[in-house]
Chains A and B, each alone.
Chain A
Amino acid sequence: MTDWLDPLPWLIVLPLVWGTLAFVLGPGRGARLAIVALVLQMLLALQLAAQLVDAGARAYAVGGWGAPLGIDLYADGLAAVMLLLTQAVALPLAVYARGYFAATTKGRDLFWPITGLMLAALNALFVSADLFNIYVTLELLGLAAVGLVAIAGGTAPVTAALRYLLATLLGSGAYLLGVALIYGTYGSVSLEVLAPLITDEAPFAVTLAAALMLLGLMLKTALFPFHFWLPPAHGGAPAPVSALLSALVIKASFYLVVRLWLDLFEPLTTVDAAQLIGALGAAAIIWGSLLALTQTRLKMLVAYSTVAQIGYLFLLFPLATLTLPAAADSALQGGVMQALAHGLAKAAMFAAAGSMIVATGRDDINRLGGVGARLPLTLFTFGMAGVTLMGLPPSGGFSAKWLLLQAALESGQWWWVAVMVVGGLLTAAYVFKVLRRAFLPVAEGDSVTPVPRVLEFSAFALALASILLGVFGAPLMDLLAVGRGA
């Protein structure tokens, strides 16, 4: 294979190119270019995944320079799974966004360029092989995400964007301090070089660095109690932006927590720390679901649902730390499956919510009457995404929760089972709260206008993917195992 056809660098270069071009071409041609390029990116991600399954994890030296002088990229199964998720969510959302911004033009001009930059940062983050490159991609991702929150203008979005910016800068500041301490101790930032050096006899500075980096990343993932910035930012942005942020951006920092916890800092992890992270996850599930139940605005409900679903992701840590290898394996698979299922389902849910808001002209759960009759496909999409979030079979959410339950039972930690069951019931409660209103007839004085078909079908594709993930998810789990020591 010639070097310039390698899919790994192109996954980063392509979105940068179309993002920049979209800035020049304007939203009309920019959108068409973005959709074509995203199809290509999807194919590249599939090609990379196939290569990894055949030949195992591999590195790529950018510009042919090699590690100490240049920057290395590294792709293993976990990275490939996240790359697939990113392109699989971004492509239908781009189709959706093109229709959405035809209906409401607020923020249309800047959406395509910033989305291109954001996807480039995401793809680069997943294949970064050193701690400093991860810092740079984290910052690029954070700045692009903040920009996307603010594109609609208005006091509430700008306030939410600023709050988000300050939170994300604080998170990356803590992360950078950790990188500085690690470089000071070992003289390297390469994950490959550091992994054998960090042992359970590492000096205190390294433990401090690990704590700082993980805390910073948890702040960026909006794990309870660091979730304060998420609902206004995700709930106030235009629907395609909310979908991208909830489905993908928070997954990036979660991915890094997994990477650091399971690989780099594995010798330093303790059962107590893992139980603490799990407890925060459990609190997020309960607190986020309860607050979702009390919302009156549809998008805020979906945003609080994200706070709750993030909690499930973090249950992976107590289940995978110092337990039996079988439990740890299914915990990792369950956590990653939850990231995939939530990514697809939440993108579908925000997209469906956006269509309902366009149709009813307001963001109010109590005024959803008539949506069931006029937008049946959109409501069905919302319900299907809800099925995945609740964890009902045969959805991807069911597979995720099943794997986590299995890990909990195998490692004898029954208390997480109780949290998951209560969380599932609360999820059902807030999903049915929306469905119940939507099935009512149109209230007097309200009107439900039809929305373009493309909005309905692109959201439906995402919800369908989140269900099919449960049926056809096994190859992804095989891909996940590529490059892991087991």
Chain B
Amino acid sequence: MSVGLLYALAGAALFAIGLAGLLALPHLLRKILAFNILGSGAFLILVGLGQRDGSVDPVPQAMVLTGIVVAIAATALALALARQLLERTGRMQLPEDRADAETDDA
């Protein structure tokens, strides 16, 4: 098994962990961290599969750099919103209901 494939498999595992966390954990900070793990998994796959014949391909590295910037921006926005929610409701999680028609009127 090549090193690149090893990285890619680790990336797939990270992506799965992040996905599970994003869907299953109620706490917002955990959700935001889970999103970052999920993103890192995708980046690792991009870099891992991008290696050809043992040589490093610079294009996926450049793409991952861009992706990291995007992920940081998204994390900052999520943290700012989560803080606003904490200040308003005193809780660090989204309300349980799915905000469907009936419940939203409350």
**Residues of chain A whose beta carbon lies under 8 Å from any beta carbon of chain B:** 68, 132, 135-136, 139-140, 143, 146-147, 150, 153-156, 158-163, 165-166, 169-170, 173, 176-177, 179-181, 183-185, 187, 189, 228, 231-232, 235, 291, 294-297, 300, 304
Contacts and interface: CB of A to CB of B under 8 A. Distances in A.
B81 A179 contact: no
A264 to B, nearest CB: 18
**Which bracket fits the contact residues of B?**
35 or more
Interface in B30-72: 31, 35, 38-39, 41-43, 45-46, 48-50, 52, 57, 59-60, 63, 66-67, 70
A139 B74 CA distance: 8
Contact of A166 (B22, B63, B84): B22
Interface in B2-41: 8, 11, 15, 18-19, 22, 28, 31, 35, 38-39, 41
Given A176-B46, A183-B46, A184-B46, 9 more contacts: A135-B67, A150-B84, A155-B88, A158-B88, A162-B82, A163-B99, A166-B31, A170-B19, A170-B38
Contacts of A297: 104-105
Contacts of A132: 63, 66
B45 A180 contact: yes
A147 B28 CA distance: 17
Given A139-B74, A180-B49, A296 B105 contact: yes
Interface string B69-100: 01001100110011011001100001100111
19 contacts: A136-B70, A139-B74, A147-B77, A155-B88, A159-B95, A161-B81, A162-B82, A166-B22, A173-B19, A177-B15, A180-B43, A180-B49, A180-B60, A184-B49, A187-B50, A189-B63, A232-B99, A232-B104, A300-B101
Contacts of B35: 166, 169-170, 173
A165 B70 contact: no
B99 A162 contact: no
B63 A165 contact: no
Contacts of A161: 81
A184 B94 CA distance: 37
A196 to B, nearest CB: 20
Nearest to B83: A158
Contacts of B8: 184
Contact of A170 (B22, B81, B104): B22
A187 B57 contact: yes
A173 B81 contact: no
A181 B45 contact: yes
A194 to B, nearest CB: 14
Nearest to B102: A294
B94 A139 contact: no
A477 to B, nearest CB: 36
Residue of B8, B28, B78 most packed against chain A (CB within 10 A): B78
Contacts, number: 122
A147 B74 CA distance: 11
A53 B90 CA distance: 57
B85 A295 contact: no
B19 to A, nearest CB: 8
B93 to A, nearest CB: 10
A332 to B, nearest CB: 31
B99 A160 contact: yes
A183 B50 contact: yes
A459 B97 CA distance: 34
Contact of A304 (B48, B60, B81, B101): B101
Given A162-B81, A162-B94, A181 B49 contact: yes
Contact of A177 (B42, B57, B59, B70): B42
A147 B73 CA distance: 12
B85 A155 contact: yes
B50 A184 contact: yes
A291 to B, nearest CB: 6
B39 A173 contact: yes
B84 A158 contact: yes
A296 B105 CA distance: 8
A30 to B, nearest CB: 21
A183 B49 contact: yes
A206 to B, nearest CB: 12
Most buried by A among B41, B73, B82, B84: B84
A143 B74 contact: yes
Given A165-B77, A165-B78, A183-B49, A231 B39 contact: no
A165 B74 contact: yes
A162 B42 contact: no
B17 to A, nearest CB: 12
A139 B75 CA distance: 12
A74 B12 CA distance: 32
B49 A300 contact: no
Nearest to B57: A187
B94 A163 contact: yes
B22 to A, nearest CB: 6
A173 B42 contact: yes
A117 to B, nearest CB: 11
Given A136-B66, A170-B22, A176-B67, A162 B46 contact: no
